[in-house]
Amino acid sequence: MEQRMMEGGVVASVPPVAPPTVKLKWAEHLTTSWLAEDCQAIALRDSTLVLYDRLLENKEVVVVAGPGCVMRGGPQLPDYEPEPPSPADQLSHVNALLASQAALARSTAAQPRFSALLHKRLIVLQRIYHALSRSFHQGARERDRVVGVYARRC
């Protein structure tokens, strides 16, 4: 984690740039529909976004809030203080809030749209490869079962 000195002497930690965290849960009843997808469509931006939106609609992909949304090392204020905070405490609190806000803005702006599109394309490809894998292995089990039945007859 990189640290930078901010204005006013506040040290802000800059989170590494990473794509949003997602949870993948493939719906097996949709496997055949993913096998029918045109693989060349993934090369096009609009087609990739449509396929990714389909994953979101079917809840096969759930976007989880990343660490950029959490204020790390931000000011911790007690629930109740008998006296108001001193001006130095107030300034420290405001500086910490501004540093956290700047770090969040920096991490959001650092992820280019092209990177986000590549991440979505990768998830769509993972789904198609999962469908191919399941189809291949289920087909192999079916072939083994048929061969076994045929072998018992002979």
Tens digits of residue pLDDT in 65-122: 665 545 555 556 666 767 887 888 888 888 888 988 888 888 777 778 888 899 999 9
- Indicate whether 43 belongs to any domain: yes
Residue 48 confidence class, pLDDT cut points 50, 70, 90: very high
Q: What pTM was estimated for this model as a whole?
A: 0.57
Residue 100 within any structural domain of the chain? yes
Per-residue tokens: 10: 């506040």
Between the CA of residue 13 and those of 30, 89, 94, 99, 153, what are the distances in Å?
Answer: 43, 20, 16, 9, 71
Q: Is residue 75 part of a domain?
A: no
What is the total count of domains within the chain?
1
Domain holding 19, by residue range, is: 2-70+89-153
The C-alpha angle 113, 110, 52, rounded to 5 degrees, equals 30
DSSP letter at 63 equals E
Contact of 59 with 25, CB cutoff 8 Å: yes
